[in-house]
Amino acid sequence: MCSLQTSSSRREGAHSLEAERISFRAGGRLLVDGVSLALTPGRLVGLIGPNGAGKSTLLRLLSGLLSPEAGAVCLEGSSLSELAPEQIARRLARVPQTPPGELDFTVLEVALMGRYALSPGWQESAADRSLALNALAQTGTAHLADRLYSTLSGGERQRVIVARALVQEPRVLLLDEPTASLDLQHQIEVLEVVRRLTAERGLASIAAIHDLTLAARYCDELMMIHGGKVAAAGRPDEVLTAESLRQVFGVNAVVERHPRLGYLMVLVQGIAKERVR
């Protein structure tokens, strides 16, 4: 049921996760309205849009935490509705918007929780510990393995939660604003890790990102959501335009490419007097 939607997707080859015109309603409101997308291994898609646009709801639909009232989500060719939670966890991992706070476990123990997601009856093995230590090393947190998770900074916690997701050995990675509430240094650290691991592990990744300049810098493609619908999708320079920012975010902005570093920058000038809805 999930078929190829865009010419850019056709060029990239097989998809790990597809959504076909999915919709979801809650409290009488249509939160997601006919959204289609296809995630490709090795590429990071940035999900952008104003607060309340439907980004978090869309990610929950893509992960199977919510079921669409219309359309379908397919994970490697199988409908999510037909897969058991353990089957989904072996292919797809989630990183929540806010990392858990007062977990009374060591960093290594938190990372190992990624194995528990695969089977409720899981028992730790030497191979699991090796996998967890490797995931911590890949996220730059191996030196924290024996520290209590609750003593870490926000950026360290988020990187450990990314490691926990990697311990599931997923092929699809969904991240709901992984840089929320982090300072600029930790935002960059987390996005650097996610982009590198997406390329090195061949993950099909999608991340809701609040900062538009960081989204343009680290993502291969962007999908702009507004009112539960896809307002624009494609390369960052195709999606981030003065017109789209005025229509969707209600601001007057200039989008420029950094003269030396080469990445796009979004420079907000002020609130748009007339906002197209």
CA 150/CA 143 separation, integer angstroms: 15
Q: What is the pLDDT of residue 174?
A: 98
pLDDT tens track for 101-119: 677 899 999 999 999 888 7
C-alpha–C-alpha distance, residues 140 and 110, integer Å: 15
What is the 3-class SS of 75-104, one letter each residue? ECCEEHHHCCHHHHHCCEEEECCCCCCCCC
pLDDT in tens, 152-171: 988 899 999 999 999 999 99
DSSP assignment string, 20-59: EEEEEEETTEEEEEEEEEEE-TTEEEEEE--TTSSHHHHH
Mean pLDDT rounded to a whole number for the chain: 90
For residue 6, pLDDT over 70 is answered with no
Q: Read off the pTM.
A: 0.90
Q: What is the DSSP string of 173-237?
A: EEEESTTTT--HHHHHHHHHHHHHHHHHHT-EEEEE-S-HHHHHHH-SEEEEEETTEEEEEESHH
Q: Which residues contact 46 (CB under 8 A, 6 or more apart)?
A: 206, 207, 208, 209, 215, 216, 218, 219, 221, 222, 223, 236
Cβ proximity of 271 and 246 under 8 Å: no
- 146 near 133, Cβ under 8 Å? no
Closest Cα partner for 136 from 161, 105, 173?
A: 161
pLDDT of 50-87, one tens digit each?
999 999 999 999 999 999 999 999 999 999 999 999 99
Predicted confidence (pLDDT) at residue 252 exceeds the cutoff of 80: yes
- Check residue 32 and give its pLDDT: 98
Contacts 24+ apart (CB under 8 A), 27-32: 30/228, 31/57, 31/228, 32/57, 32/58, 32/61, 32/68, 32/228
Q: Which of 153-167, 236-250, 262-276 has the highest mean pLDDT?
A: 236-250
Indicate the SS3 state at residue 264: strand
pLDDT at 11 over 60: no
Residues of the chain with CATH 3.40.50.300: 1-85+170-236
1-85+170-236 falls under which CATH superfamily?
P-loop containing nucleotide triphosphate hydrolases (3.40.50.300)
DSSP state of 117: T
Question: Which amino acid belongs to residue 269?
Answer: Q
274 pLDDT more than 70: no
Q: What is the pLDDT of residue 251?
A: 95
